[in-house]
Amino acid sequence: MAQAEKTASHAAAGTAQNGGTNVVTLGPRDTLNGRLDIQGDLRVHGNVEGDLKASGDVAVESTAAVQAAIEGANVTVRGQVTGNVTARRRLTLGGSGRLNGDVKVGRLTVEDGATLNGNVAMTGEK
């Protein structure tokens, strides 16, 4: 978890350098247990248990294993997710993505090879 905190702090410190867009990345060896609520984008390559909420986009990469509720503007799942997902704009399930949970989305894209086990509720994009 110390690694994840270091990465998050580093990303926040770099905000002014990259035009004001905050991007937090959890690497493949990082583990997060608990709640992460950020202003900006989130990329997950490691393991998460808890809740993830981002004002921007959330990407769960193919190396990630997530047991958490996820909320973001656009959510992309290429790894394993167990938990409910809210995508205010679009949820994209990549070919390697596995999602077990209910989803609330504005739009839904499911690529060949992806799996979704749960209920889907489509709302207007926000």
pTM above 0.85, yes or no: no
Q: Measured between alpha carbons, how far is 31 from 28 in angstroms, rounded to an integer?
A: 8
Q: Measured between alpha carbons, how far is 118 from 102 in angstroms, rounded to an integer?
A: 5
Does an H or E element contain 2, and which? helix 2-13
Q: Looking at residue 21, what is its pLDDT?
A: 77
Q: Looking at residue 18, what is its pLDDT?
A: 43
Could you read off the pLDDT tens digit of each residue along the chain, which spans 126 residues?
444 443 443 443 333 344 457 999 999 999 999 999 999 999 999 999 999 999 999 999 999 999 999 999 999 999 999 999 999 999 999 999 999 999 999 999 999 999 999 999 998 765
Q: Looking at residue 55, what is its pLDDT?
A: 96
Token pair 């909320």: residue: 71
Please state the length of the chain.
126
Q: Looking at residue 2, what is its pLDDT?
A: 40
